[in-house]
Amino acid sequence: MECNKDRIRLDIETIAGFNSTPGQGTTRFTYSDEDIKAREYLIKEMERTGLKVSVDQMGNIRARLDGKDDSLPIVMTGSHIDTVTNGGNFDGVAGVSAGLEALRTLVENKFQPECSIELIVFVEEEGPNFKFPLAGSRILTGKFPVSSLKKHFNSKGVSMHDAAVARGFDPSDMRRHLFKEGEIKAMIELHIEQSVVLDELSVPVGVVGAVAGRKWIEIEIAGKSNHAGATPMNFRNDPMDGAAKVIASLRDIVTESANPTTVGTVGKIDCFPNEPNVIPEKVCFTVDVRDIEKDGIEIVERELIELTEETCEKHGLEFSSRVLSETEPIIFSKKVVESIIESAKDKCIEYIEMNSGALHDSCLMAEITDVGMIFVPSVGGRSHCAEETTDYEDIKKGADVLLGALIKISEA
């Protein structure tokens, strides 16, 4: 059994046509006209394939291929079709199309899996519209209450709840649609990598074993503001001097003390008063540390704070630090990862094992079931922009691996 590249291309190109910013990347917000048209296309395609389609009261679409024993927990695949502002045509849609194509291929070959296999299209994964990323998976997994739809508003001040109602959904009746305990045996999401690794190595498939956890630490270093010309160097308490030393050491701390998978970034820095002729009063910067192992994040945090303390003591500065946000690393199911690897081997499709630095709907699903992910290359590592591209041949290979893995898990 093999997936059909042309059908994948047709799905992705058709959905790409539903775009509110043609010529400037793709923008398709949840509940927009473009989103509704894309949903109509998909539902028609699912029905044409012979799948049982249901849409819940916030718009998540589920399409089911019945297994031999319909009472068994189901195997799920899928992703999302909403985009960021001026995004690309492959983020999310590649996974939806690959899942749909896997089911089309099963139906075409008259293959009935042991348990039912479902394709899911999650609502509002990106979250630029209602500032509620992963809304569909968060609510379906019970991580957030349905009432949270009333607390997230778009730029026009319309809540996600009201926007859903305007499209004919009834979120007040959403509770009965939430995933039930034991309902889902496993979930596999195919997604574009959104980075350079697979493209650089020219490997079509990445088998994702873990998703990195992340900590944002804010460090504020305070000194004494003074005249940049009149203050001799040995009479300064310059917080920029201290901040620069700490920031410049981050790379060494990460590469020498933490794990090979740890990464650290200073991406935001604020200087007060931020004038060319004034020794600053304070400098504030954030450190983003990620790793699939929690200890990597902890080591960087500890060493960074120790170094900041030493540096501030030496230069007569004061400092404070606080954690702005934190997410735990997610380790995917060994069983699912193994099934994906076996499927790639069966089909002689080259793959590497890798980790994800970004969160996806599957990460939420990992709290309630066994999860795995398949990455396909992003050309040049570009994503969330008009240039976002993945070779259709690579998506087809990823879909073939997905197809094999879905069958293996349904039989396990």
Nearest approach, Cβ of residue 126 and Zn ion (Å): 7
Beta strands in 107-204 (DSSP E): 117-122, 184-192
Query: Which residue's CB is nearer to Zn ion, number 4 or number 327?
Result: 327
Query: Which residue's CB is nearer to Zn ion, number 92 or number 171?
Result: 92
Nearest approach, Cβ of residue 61 and Zn ion (Å): 16
241 contributes a contact to Zn ion by CB under 5 A: no
92 contributes a contact to Zn ion by CB under 5 A: yes
193 contributes a contact to Zn ion by CB under 5 A: no
The number of residues that bind Zn ion (CB under 5 A) is 2
Q: Tell me which stretch binds Zn ion (CB under 5 A): 90-98, 145-153, 170-178, 391-399.
A: 90-98
Query: Which residue's CB is nearer to Zn ion, number 128 or number 204?
Result: 128
Q: Tell me which stretch binds Zn ion (CB under 5 A): 68-76, 86-94, 167-175, 218-226.
A: 86-94
CB 316 within 8 A of CB 226: no
Query: Which residue's CB is nearer to Zn ion, number 15 or number 407?
Result: 15
Is the preceding omega at residue 273 within 30 degrees of 0, hence cis?
Answer: yes
Q: Tell me which stretch binds Zn ion (CB under 5 A): 6-14, 29-37, 87-95, 136-144.
A: 87-95
34 contributes a contact to Zn ion by CB under 5 A: no
CB 61 within 8 A of CB 136: no
Other Cβ atoms within 10 Å of 226 Cβ, number = 16
**DSSP 8-state secondary structure symbol assigned to residue 234:** G
99 contributes a contact to Zn ion by CB under 5 A: no
Nearest approach, Cβ of residue 52 and Zn ion (Å): 25
Nearest CA among 386, 383, 364 for reference residue 373 = 364
**Alpha carbon distance 142, 30 (integer Å):** 20
Residue 370 DSSP SS3? strand
Residues 316-375 touching Zn ion, rule: CB under 5 A, are none
* Residue choice 56, 82, 91, 394 for contact with Zn ion (CB under 5 A): 91
Q: What is the DSSP string of 294-313?
A: HHHHHHHHHHHHHHHHHHHH
Q: Which two tokens stand for residue 58?
A: 């916030």
**DSSP 8-state secondary structure symbol assigned to residue 253:** I
Contacting residues toward Zn ion, per CB under 5 A: 91-92
